[in-house]
Chain A
Amino acid sequence: MELTEAIVRAACALGAGLCMGIGAIGPAIGEGNAVGKALEGMARQPESTSNLRTNMLVGCAVAETTGIYSLVIALLLLFVF
């Protein structure tokens, strides 16, 4: 393998790792907050559990979006370049 190509491969691998690692921080904090608050609400009002759970799942899926973006970019770096 030529040196430039090796450098590009290494940079892609490093970039994918960084992208996924840093990109997962935000969604993790966001989803943790959402689930924690939802659990608080469920503990306070057990009768609203089903409604809260549905909304929590949708909120989690939306909060996950930025994490998914970084996943897409990491996959591009690993498998396309």
Chain B
Amino acid sequence: MQINGPKIYFTIPIFGGIPVTQTLLSSFVATLILCVTAFLLGRKLRKRPGRMQVMTEKGVTVMTNMVKEAMGEHNARWTPFIAAVFLSSLLGTLLGMTGILRSSTADISTTMTWAVLVSFICWYQSIKNNGFLAWLKGFTEPIAVMTPMNIVSEIAQPVSLAFRHFGNIAGGGVITALIYWALSGASAGILKLIASSSIAVPLVLLAAGVGLLPLSRPKAGGKRRKLPLLLGALCTALAGLRLLDWLWSLTGRAWPQMNGIVTGLCWFAALAVLVCGIVLLIGHKKLPGILLTALGFLGICFVSEGPMGVPVLTLGLPAVLSLYFDVFSGVIQAFVFSLLTMIYISGNCPPPEEGKSKA
């Protein structure tokens, strides 16, 4: 089990070498997506808005109200910056769920850059509003003895801001990876156990699975019961895989490796079934959608590894975990990051009349 940081694709040989990492790639992809979406949404604005324009306006209003609530009416001009931070953090986290890109916020350099940027904005605003000397004097408040404490807290602020976001996303990714690794190990163990058993075991499993499935039928007016359904499906799938393996062993040949046109075509067919299942799921056709998705997933593993290489247990649970660790945690952390940014900045941007009376 290896946990790695972002991979380096290649290094640009200027300024002593700039490494192009996965983080850089997903940051640029997030920026590009946001820019293109914003451009497309803001292009044809009409007096009588269409559906997209209503949604865009609603989103902008929500953002503006959030900023006004947290920072005060006079700071509404910060909305674009806060919205940009929020959206790029959210999108950067969610990009990690595609499986191709890595979350850009699961890298300390991304979040640290944002946090240091926020610190610089705070200092600039403070100097602009109160003058350089007043800013320096601010460190000695309330008494001169507190100066080291104030400097430390000034450094600790971006560090805590950055580590909170980074730790949540990276930690979630590590935990999901560990669980996935453990589950695939466990299912490989179970399959090995079944594969080395006599042919009677899968037959018993098949009988148990087929027997359990009708138990999940809903009682009059009730819901379909989940546990017998899951257990029955698991038993049936295991038994079916073992029986297929047994049938194949009758031919006396090893399972063909992943090469050649036929396996490739089978792989693409399984992928097509998977995509169909996901499309059905999106179209709110639950049962056929779930069936086709599971079938496609099993098919892909089946073609590449043979009947005994299908990680049966990894279906389902990692998705739920990822829903918590990626979606929920990503949204909350993006929100917390932009909320704290607003609080820090508004601390250095007092309302106009108060600022004048101070100066």
Contacts and interface: CB of A to CB of B under 8 A. Distances in A.
Nearest to A79: B3
Interface string A47-70: 000000000011001101100110
Interface in A27-81: 57-58, 61-62, 64-65, 68-69, 71-72, 75, 78-79
A59 to B, nearest CB: 10
B171 A75 contact: yes
A75 B170 contact: yes
Contact of A75 (B164, B174, B335): B174
How big is chain A's contact interface, by range? Answer: 10 to 19
Interface in B165-191: 166-168, 170-171, 174
A48 B163 CA distance: 32
Interface in B305-353: 332-333, 335-336, 339-340
A72 B163 contact: yes
B160 interface: yes
B3 A69 contact: no
Nearest to B331: A57
Contact of A69 (B167, B174, B336, B340): B167
Given A75-B3, A75-B174, A69 B163 contact: yes
Nearest to A70: B167
B163 A58 contact: no
A61 B332 CA distance: 7
Given A75-B3, A75-B171, A75-B174, A65 B166 contact: no
Interface string A14-25: 000000000000
Contacts of A72: 163, 166-167, 170-171
Contacts of B160: 65
A23 to B, nearest CB: 11
B31 to A, nearest CB: 25
A75 B336 CA distance: 23
**Interface SS of chain B:** helix
A55 B174 CA distance: 28
Contacts of A75: 3, 170-171, 174
A65 B170 CA distance: 13
Contacts of B174: 75
A58 B167 contact: no
A16 to B, nearest CB: 12
Contact of A62 (B166, B167, B336): B336
B335 A58 contact: yes
Interface-central residue, B166, B167, B170, B339, by most chain A CB under 10 Å: B167
Contacts of B167: 68-69, 71-72
Nearest to B1: A79
Interface in B131-190: 160, 163-164, 166-168, 170-171, 174
Interface-central residue, B160, B164, B335, by most chain A CB under 10 Å: B164
A57 B328 CA distance: 11
B335 A71 contact: no
Given A75-B3, A75-B174, A79-B3, A68 B336 contact: no
A75 B4 CA distance: 11
For the complex of A and B, the 7 pairs showing the least CB-CB separation, nearest first, are A68-B167, A72-B167, A61-B336, A79-B3, A71-B171, A65-B164, A61-B332
Given A58-B332, A61-B164, 9 more contacts: A57-B332, A58-B339, A61-B168, A61-B336, A62-B340, A68-B163, A68-B164, A72-B163, A78-B3
23 contacts: A57-B332, A58-B332, A58-B336, A58-B339, A61-B168, A61-B332, A61-B333, A61-B335, A61-B336, A62-B340, A64-B164, A64-B168, A65-B160, A69-B167, A71-B167, A71-B171, A72-B166, A72-B167, A72-B170, A75-B3, A75-B170, A75-B174, A79-B3
Interface of B: 3, 160, 163-164, 166-168, 170-171, 174, 332-333, 335-336, 339-340
